[in-house]
Amino acid sequence: MDVLTIIGQLINTTLVFATALIFTSLGGIFSEKSGVTNLGLEGLMVFGAFAAGVVGHYAQDAGMDAFSAATMGLLAAIVMGTIVSLIHALASITFKADQVISGIVINFLAAGSTLYMVKLLFEGAGETELIAGYSRIAIPYLSEIPLLGDAIFNAYPTTYLAIILVFVSFYVLYKTPFGLRLRSVGEHPSAADTVGIKVNRMRYIGVMLSGALAGIGGATITLTTTGTFSHNTISGQGYIAIAAMIFGKWNPIGAFGAAVFFGLAQAVRNYVQLFAWTQSIPPEVIYMLPYVLTIIVLVAAVGRSSAPSALGQPYDPSKR
Amino acid sequence: MSKLMKIFTGDSFILSLVAIIMGLILGALVMLIGGYDPFEAYSALITRVYGDSYNFGEAIREMTPLIMTGLAFAFAARTGLFNIGGEGQFLIGMTAASIVGIHVQGLPVYIHAPLAVIAGAVFGGLWAAIAGYLKAARGVNEVISCIMLNWIGLYLSNMIINNFALLEGENRSVNIQPTASIAIGWLSEMMGNARVHWGTVIALLAAVFFYIFMWKTKQGYELRAVGFNQDASKYAGMNVNRNVVKAMFISGAFAGLGGAFTVLGVFGYQSVMASSPGTGFDGIAVALIGMNNPFGIILGSILFGTLTYGSAGMSFSADVPPEIVRIVIGAIIFFIAAQGIVRWVLKPFYAKRKKEKVL
């Protein structure tokens, strides 16, 4: 293989891995911009991946073609993620529980309940049955560009959706009244309250959006990478998405860049063994490189974090 | 003694107890919906853990590292830090103990074993101190640096075992020297070869140390003060940054000890792991159930260990998927975190009590 082909494939694989992270970190941004920490992204992804695997399987059994079945799975993941995120919202917004803890609760519930349900639905098996999922779609004309065409314009539909949503999220957050309100309840809830914004309602919306997006993120992995849902379909991607969100300074474009960076780090693993000079490096060094780099970048560039000011604090009107 | 009684009748203890009961009931409901018999399942769980001495010993083995990672999380939490990196600190402590246990030779048991245990504590602590230093010196959020350090710790551990201690042809290290073992041979024999070890005793002592250090010493007072209010502590002349690093070091040392026990007391070798063992994250749950109190954490680890170790028996004799206990644990933490719900459930009882007082 010549170097250009390898680079093209590397970019393509990078986007496959990055897609789930893009969705999920966008979800994290909506929740945290509204002032609610969401450490439950991992669990929400698990629920999304589960819903996509199960519904995708039944839709395919009912005679749908692969694309429609996968889309049914994706929609189910959105519904599932949104519903589960309500647990987090109820505990942390209405009952003013510690937001970090209630996020961890989601992760615990996800690990247990999805596998429990898989075992109920598939007669004791530890994973859902294999489905076809999405296949790559080449965009006409654009995909014929040398190198770039194969690298970027011959991807899964979820990747296109993710990239579109990055810009939609940016527009919604920074150019619409809704976005302004969402950000204001995360920065200064009592000020927002005095001008008539319903703080808790905005926060519920933020958390539910994060549930929906993290659900899609999880579904992406089932529908494009694994084809099944099992206990290790989601293994840490939710936490990486949180890192991508912080890395990207809670900005959709920044999070997108960070997600691509983490995707690249995952993709690189597959190509390390191809060159003689890279074979002498212990593989573990390659594995840990993205995490080391993240820390270095955080130390060097980001410094003091630019998190929403009211992040992590339940809103209590009697204390303003 | 009256203090002890206070713990068991205090508001937070009753709230935890009710949360646990509500969690168990929720688990029972989920089992009923799935078509299982919850009474059969729960009794199978209890029988498995407390039915014979072998399984009892093994259940204690399950609980011991949970005490340590629980203490690790709680110690940091008491000082205002969110140490989600117990996972990585556990692994680094484990690796340090393995290396000392394997490569240091010719020492008597009463020096070698403690040395290996201390190595685990020190390196687990140093691993956590990295996150503490990054927060103190550069303002890097400890949650994100801990997540990163968890992954780095996993791969670094694997790399060290692969390169310096690998057993040829196997996916694990060579065995540790017998002098580094902290297993309790005679007790193990009495309990049908259950893997009991001195780590459990150290874990209980660690909880006592936690209590005394945090609430009875000047250093502990400073750590808590920094946790409550950094600005006020700084104004009072405390070195906030040094306290952050110190808190993370002690926190990580607890987790590192847990890892060391696992190698020195249980397996006698270290596996090359594809993913993190999860003990660090489980410790967070234990700490939350124990309300970040060292003695609560011991109770929390008994509950957590009983549920997880017993779940195997539950699936064996009652055919219930063992994952159900994760739902129960999740529900328990949910109810403990969202105390408003529990208070709402308890409201009628509290109202009654007040009336009695009036009379």
Q: Is B354 among the domain residues?
A: no
Query: Greatest CA separation found in chain B?
Result: 77
* Distance separating alpha carbons of residues B133 and B141, to the nearest angstrom: 11
> Is the Cβ pair A111, B333 closer than 8 Å?
no
> Is the Cβ pair B148, A294 closer than 8 Å?
yes
Average pLDDT over all residues of chain B: 88
> Is the Cβ pair A298, B321 closer than 8 Å?
no
Q: What is the pLDDT of residues B172-211, one digit of tens each?
A: 888 988 888 888 888 888 888 888 899 999 999 999 999 9
Q: Residue B355 pLDDT > 60, yes or no?
A: no
Q: Find the range with the poorest average confidence among B108-122, B291-305, B334-348.
A: B334-348
Q: What mean pLDDT comes out for the span A49-75? A: 92
Q: Is B215 among the domain residues?
A: yes
Higher per-residue pLDDT: A273 or B43:
B43
Q: What is the pLDDT of residues B254-264, one digit of tens each?
A: 999 999 999 99
- A295 in contact with chain B, both atoms CB, cutoff 8 A: yes
Give the closest of A91, A284, A307 to B334, CB-based.
A91
Q: What mean pLDDT comes out for the span A66-80? A: 94
> Is the Cβ pair A101, B156 closer than 8 Å?
no
> Is the Cβ pair A104, B284 closer than 8 Å?
yes
User: Nearest-5° angle of CA B352, CA B358, CA B359?
Assistant: 90
Question: DSSP characters for A45-103?
Answer: HHHHHHHHHHHHHHHHHTT--HHHHHHHHHHHHHHHHHHHHHHHHIIIIIS---HHHHH
Q: What mean pLDDT comes out for the span B12-23? A: 86
CB B3 within 8 A of CB B215: no
H/E element holding A138?
Answer: strand A137-138
Residues of chain B with C-beta less than 8 angstroms from the C-beta of A112: 323-330
Q: Residue A201 pLDDT > 90, yes or no?
A: yes
* Distance separating alpha carbons of residues A279 and A272, to the nearest angstrom: 7
Contacts of B274 (CB under 8 A, 6+ apart): none
Q: Is B253 among the domain residues?
A: yes
Q: What was the pLDDT predicted at B283? A: 94
- B140 in contact with chain A, both atoms CB, cutoff 8 A: yes
Q: Give the residues across from B197 on adjacent strands.
A: B183
Query: What CA dihedral angle connects B15, B16, B20 and B23, to 10 degrees?
Result: 70
Q: What is the pLDDT of residues B207-259, one digit of tens each?
A: 999 999 999 999 999 999 988 888 888 888 888 889 999 999 999 999 999 99
Q: Residue B12 pLDDT > 70, yes or no?
A: yes
Q: Is B45 among the domain residues?
A: no
The count of other CB atoms within 10 Å of the CB of residue B190 is: 13
Average pLDDT over all residues of chain A: 87
Output the CA–CA distances (angstroms, integers) from residue B289 to A43, B16, B20, in the order listed.
20, 7, 9
- Full residue range of the structural domain in which residue A199 is found: 3-136+146-319
* Distance separating alpha carbons of residues B276 and B158, to the nearest angstrom: 11
Q: Token pair of B270, please?
A: 């270290």
> Is the Cβ pair B338, A232 closer than 8 Å?
no
Q: What is the pLDDT of residues B263-307, one digit of tens each?
A: 999 998 898 888 888 899 899 999 988 989 999 999 999 999 999
pTM over cut 0.80: yes
Q: Give the residues across from A214 on adjacent strands.
A: none
**Res. B352 pLDDT band, cuts 50 70 90:** low
Distance from CA of A298 to the nearest CA of B (A): 7
Q: For residue B144, report the phi and psi dihedrals to the nearest 5 degrees.
A: -70, -40
Q: Residue A304 pLDDT > 60, yes or no?
A: no
What 3-state DSSP class applies to B197? Answer: strand
- A171 in contact with chain B, both atoms CB, cutoff 8 A: no
> Is the Cβ pair A97, B340 closer than 8 Å?
yes
Tokens 């502990």, residue? B220
Q: Residue A320 pLDDT > 70, yes or no?
A: no
% of chain B at pLDDT higher than 70: 94
Q: What was the pLDDT predicted at A313? A: 81
Q: Is B2 among the domain residues?
A: no
Among A85-99, A232-246, B87-101, the range of highest mean pLDDT: B87-101
A·B CB contacts under 8 A: 137
- A109 in contact with chain B, both atoms CB, cutoff 8 A: yes
Output the CA–CA distances (angstroms, integers) from residue A280 to A1, A290, B161, B166, in the order listed.
20, 19, 17, 18
Q: Is A141 among the domain residues?
A: no
> Is the Cβ pair B34, A120 closer than 8 Å?
yes
Q: What mean pLDDT comes out for the span B347-356? A: 66
Give the closest of A124, A246, A288 to B151, CB-based.
A288
> Is the Cβ pair A100, B329 closer than 8 Å?
no
Backbone conformation region of residue B194, classed left if phi is above 0, alpha if psi is from -120 to 50, else beta: beta
Q: What was the pLDDT predicted at B356? A: 55
Domain count within chain B: 1
Q: What is the pLDDT of residues A18-48, one digit of tens each?
A: 999 999 999 999 999 999 989 899 999 999 9
Distance from CA of B257 to the nearest CA of A (A): 24
User: Nearest-5° angle of CA B349, CA B351, CA B357?
Assistant: 105
> Is the Cβ pair A90, B338 closer than 8 Å?
yes
Domain count within chain A: 1
ipTM of the shown complex? 0.83
- Full residue range of the structural domain in which residue B213 is found: 65-301
CATH of the domain at A244: 1.10.3470
Give the closest of B144, B148, B323 to A116, CB-based.
B323
Question: Residues of A numbered 17-76 whose beta carbons fall under 8 angstroms of chain B's beta carbons: which are they?
Answer: 39
Looking from the CA of A254 toward its CB, the CA atoms found within 13 Å total 14
Q: What was the pLDDT predicted at B359? A: 47
- A160 in contact with chain B, both atoms CB, cutoff 8 A: no
Q: What was the pLDDT predicted at B212? A: 95
**Res. B354 pLDDT band, cuts 50 70 90:** low
Q: Token pair of A127, please?
A: 């994973």
Q: Is B320 among the domain residues?
A: no
Q: Residue B10 pLDDT > 60, yes or no?
A: yes
Q: Is B101 among the domain residues?
A: yes
Residues of chain A with C-beta less than 8 angstroms from the C-beta of B340: 94-97
Q: For residue A71, report the phi and psi dihedrals to the nearest 5 degrees.
A: -65, -40
* Distance separating alpha carbons of residues A202 and A91, to the nearest angstrom: 15
Higher per-residue pLDDT: B297 or B164:
B297
